[in-house]
Amino acid sequence: MNRNLPNLFVIGTQIPVLALSIGLSCLLALPLVATGQQLAPNEITPENTPTQETDMPLGVDDAGSWIPIYENPKEELVFEEIGFDFLSMHITSSNLSEKVTKLDAWARRTGHDYILNNENCTRKRGDENIYQKPGLFFQLPRDLVEICSSSPYCLGIAYDEVAHCTMNGAWITINQGKYAPNFYDAAGDTLEQAYAGNLYNLSKLMQIQYPGFAQNARQPGKRPVICGEYVFPVLNHLFARAGIVPVPKYLKESVTPVTAAVALGAAKQYNLPYWACIDLWGSQYPGHSPQDLWSSLVFAYWTGAERAYIENLGCDGTNKHYKGSLYVKSAPGVKLSPWGEVAKDFRQNYLPRHPRSVSSRDFEPEIIIVRFPDSDWGQEKTGTWITGNLYGAPNLMPDPQTRYWFKIWNVITHGTTSLIAVNYNNPSMGEPFRFFFPANNVAVYDHLASDPDLYRNAQLIFLTGKQISPDCMATIERLVRENGLSVVTTTKLAPKGIQYQSCSPYAMVAKGKGRWIVTDDVLHQDVVSLLKPYLGQPDEMRFVFGKTEVVFTSPHPAQPISVTIKPHYQPD
């Protein structure tokens, strides 16, 4: 059911994505109310109108749908009414072969792609003859891997909330209330050993259990792949190095520019696609408004996500925390919720009427944070579900070096992000959720980022955390001398020769065309004044993709975003 909307896409002008001066009703034919209030659902009659093609296929996750879609005619009608392109199906270990076979048959019948999400599957300890200090993790049986590899409809296999499981235990997302190491048991290790052990086991898993999947991920359009979903903006680079596609969760408890910078940076550094999961979970379900859903869909699209999917399709009425999802299960017939109406309007109207020229593969960041993947997002021990540890090891605790990047983000976002954490799962933040934060074209790379092409558009680099590899440091030193880069570094990570410069509050050392700013107090007003010319506007979240500039704004951080698309001209 395509509504007759004007084409709002004009190069160099704003695209009103939801509820600005014209209001949500212009786009959704729904009554507009304040953010956080519910909109009355509109009853709909499914039609067989084909959904138009898009260069960002939109899917949906079925977590909370206890009957699979191939046995649930009502959910299949909702799926088609909204116009989804693919399904992320939560599988369980019981009757697994039958479920995968039936899902693939459904895909062949309907022409829709699918992802197998293994969050609810049994984790078993890895073979100690293959893996080092293995923990408990899911391995899809070989015969089912063959079905995935041979099916033209299988996009891949999702390991849900992989950083969460790595830090807080293999069972953490399915609420068994007991800790067990996930891919690797890091207890007693150093941070470097914890990183290396996880990388070794992940690489072995990809080579032995999923041969060819990592190579697929590095070739545009190839499938199937292994992807990892992230509720915390950490460890994307570790998994990406093993060939696992980053899928950041927007909404949920995410701080948007941090989540995007980490995922886009990992995808660029390791030559992988960037997908997005729009996760409606919060302190309740849905935990975010329809307006927030629209903002996150538009954000994923204009930051070049190759595909995106919404979590969840149907969570209505299951328990007191589930207040509804994309449709209303208890209603007679098929009735979309306000969130379902947003999804339908975005897929059927917005996407085909707003073709894009941006791709995450063309991301050209100007501000870059380089840091070792230490897994610190600001965790504090919270009951039984957040250990407060790094890599899940009781001997590895956050320290001022692992937490220093929070201060850098506070500077980058004009003082709007917390100094305590970069994810709302830390209750000490004490701030209500907001989608919009200012940031000026930022990426996060890991300590191995030595390819000069990664810094082609860079103007300002921050070095922080535990270590920077010699090859990465050599590249950055050369770019300072030859390209005029400014690099802000802690004293610990400063190059030899200037490492022990007096730096109260900072030391500035010129090298060739560029400069080093050595400081252990990036929040000092004198340091912030030096950096201000690089930070962009305090009311813009900006990205550059090739020759295209994408600027998000919001009249208020809690209100829906607008996006402006314009040509990007690089200085001579």
Tell me the angle at which helices 73-82 and 338-345 cross, rounded to the nearest 10 degrees.
50
Predicted confidence at residue 33, as pLDDT, reads: 27
Tell me yes or no: is domain 54-359 CATH 1.20.1730.10: no
Strands 308-311 and 58-61: parallel
Q: Are 107 and 150 in contact (CB under 8 A)?
A: no
List the pLDDT tens digit at each of the 572 positions of the chain. Answer: 332 222 222 334 344 443 322 233 334 333 222 233 222 233 333 333 345 667 999 999 999 888 999 999 999 999 999 999 999 999 999 999 999 999 999 999 999 999 999 999 999 999 999 999 999 999 999 999 999 999 999 999 999 999 999 999 999 988 766 889 999 999 999 999 999 999 999 999 999 999 999 999 999 999 999 999 999 999 999 999 999 999 999 999 999 999 999 999 999 999 999 999 999 998 788 889 999 999 999 999 999 999 999 999 988 644 455 567 899 887 788 889 999 999 999 999 999 999 999 999 999 999 999 999 999 999 999 877 899 999 999 999 999 999 999 999 999 999 999 999 999 999 888 888 999 999 999 999 999 999 999 999 999 999 999 999 999 999 999 999 999 999 999 999 999 888 766 778 999 999 999 999 999 999 999 999 999 999 999 999 999 999 999 999 998 877 899 999 999 987 65
Domain limits, the chain: 54-359, 362-543
Candidates 222, 225, 184, 255; CA nearest to 421 is 255
> What is d(CA 260, CA 437) in angstroms, rounded to the nearest whole number?
11
Tell me the angle at which helices 290-302 and 338-345 cross, rounded to the nearest 10 degrees.
30
What pTM was estimated for this model as a whole?
0.92
DSSP sequence for 145-180: HHHHHH-TTEEEEEETTHHHHHHH-TTGGGT-----
Contacts of 426 (CB under 8 A, 6+ apart): 377, 378, 379, 380, 382, 418, 420
Report the chain's C-alpha Rg in angstroms: 23
- What stretch of H or E contains 370? strand 367-371
Candidates 236, 241, 237, 175; CA nearest to 206 is 241
> What is d(CA 227, CA 270) in angstroms, rounded to the nearest whole number?
13
> What is d(CA 199, CA 240) in angstroms, rounded to the nearest whole number?
10
> What is d(CA 89, CA 107) in angstroms, rounded to the nearest whole number?
12
The 3 state secondary structure assigned to 283-338 is: CCECCCCHHHHHHHHHHHHHCCCCCEEEECCCCECCCCCEECCCECCCCCCCEECH
> What is d(CA 323, CA 357) in angstroms, rounded to the nearest whole number?
37
Which residues on neighbouring strands pair with residue 473, listed in sequence order? none
Looking from the CA of 458 toward its CB, the CA atoms found within 13 Å total 29
Please, what is the end-to-end C-alpha distance for the chain in angstroms? 49
Q: Are 273 and 300 in contact (CB under 8 A)?
A: no
Predicted confidence at residue 49, as pLDDT, reads: 35
Candidates 105, 113, 109, 117; CA nearest to 65 is 117
* Token pair for 547: 């020759």
Contacts of 176 (CB under 8 A, 6+ apart): none
Cα-based torsion angle of the residue sequence 126, 127, 130, 133 in order, rounded to the nearest 10 degrees: 60
